[in-house]
Amino acid sequence: MKLVVLGSGTSVPHPQRASAAYWLESAGGSLLLDISPDAAHRMAQEGLDWPGLDAIWVSHFHLDHLGGLAPFLFGMKWAPQTQNRSKPLRIFGPAGAKTLFEAFDGANNYRLLEQHFTIEIIEVDRSAEFEILPGLRARTVSPPHTHESMAIRLDEGEGSSLVYTSDTGYADEIADFAKGVDLLLTECSFRRNKPVETHLELADAMRLAHLAEPKRVLLTHLYPEWDGCDLRGTRHRRASAALSYL
């Protein structure tokens, strides 16, 4: 599998970090993990095959994870690149996704589901197992964030695996869920002294990683307080401070 980070930021507008969206390519097709308001243009910017996107995963209803869905479908409806598309686009999300989307769609009669191809909205339980793309198994678990939030684990046959926590507070259950995964893509909203229990700070993310023992960890969903922070530099400074005591 190949992962392209399209947005490592949050809902706070930021000059360098777009909000949540991750492009995943597997043997069975392409999958967008969350679709923030920045996602559509970031896909184009990275030269990705957005007109051929196979599936979208919506982790929860906060707009920095979902707010780009309607604009993307609006773009697909009218873009020259999608006029000959025939394969379906599948959108997986929490219970209530259909109602939420239809309410928006109906508010101005956009008819975003009436396209040249079929759009399926598939609602998923918070502890489900299903095939999200051919050959790509998905499992979900409910993290402490919002009531509908889901973390997702993706396993490609006997090959690579990934866990995307999306937004979450700390829970040992997330570590169990991510045990031994190839890539743990975890939020790490704050550096320290987090103001809410429904997000992680660095010590929480490190605890998750310590317990889950993934091959690699990728910290994302970074609030602007991370700006200018160089973790390696911080460690070196601490190391040199410690050395000065010796």
Residue 223 DSSP label: -
Least CB distance to Zn ion at residue 148 (A): 10
- CB within 8 Å of 125: residues ≥ 6 apart: 95, 140
Least CB distance to Zn ion at residue 87 (A): 30
CA dist., res. 177 & res. 155, Å (int): 12
Least CB distance to Zn ion at residue 9 (A): 9
Q: Is 156 in the site for Zn ion (CB under 5 A)?
A: no
Q: Looking at beta carbons only, is 161 or 199 nearer to Zn ion? A: 199
Stretch near Zn ion under the rule CB under 5 A, chosen from 48-56, 57-65, 121-129, 157-165: 57-65
CA dist., res. 13 & res. 64, Å (int): 10
Least CB distance to Zn ion at residue 145 (A): 6
Token pair listed for 34: 């969350």
Contact 31, 134 (CB under 8 A): no
Write phi, then psi, for 79 (nearest 5 degrees).
Answer: -70, 140
Contact 190, 200 (CB under 8 A): yes
Q: Looking at beta carbons only, is 148 or 155 nearer to Zn ion? A: 148
Q: Is 199 in the site for Zn ion (CB under 5 A)?
A: no
Contact 71, 40 (CB under 8 A): yes
Number of residues that bind Zn ion (CB under 5 A): 3
CA dist., res. 219 & res. 186, Å (int): 5
CA dist., res. 10 & res. 24, Å (int): 19
Q: Looking at beta carbons only, is 76 or 97 nearer to Zn ion? A: 97
Least CB distance to Zn ion at residue 11 (A): 6
Single out the residue of 17, 62, 90, 153 in contact with Zn ion (rule: CB under 5 A): 62
Q: Looking at beta carbons only, is 97 or 133 nearer to Zn ion? A: 97
Q: Looking at beta carbons only, is 71 or 135 nearer to Zn ion? A: 71
CA dist., res. 163 & res. 155, Å (int): 9
- CB within 8 Å of 199: residues ≥ 6 apart: 145, 167, 168, 169, 187, 189, 190, 221
Least CB distance to Zn ion at residue 109 (A): 29
Single out the residue of 34, 38, 54, 64 in contact with Zn ion (rule: CB under 5 A): 64
Q: Is 167 in the site for Zn ion (CB under 5 A)?
A: yes
Q: Looking at beta carbons only, is 25 or 225 nearer to Zn ion? A: 225
Q: Looking at beta carbons only, is 54 or 167 nearer to Zn ion? A: 167
Judged by the rule CB under 5 A, the positions of this chain that interact with Zn ion are 62, 64, 167
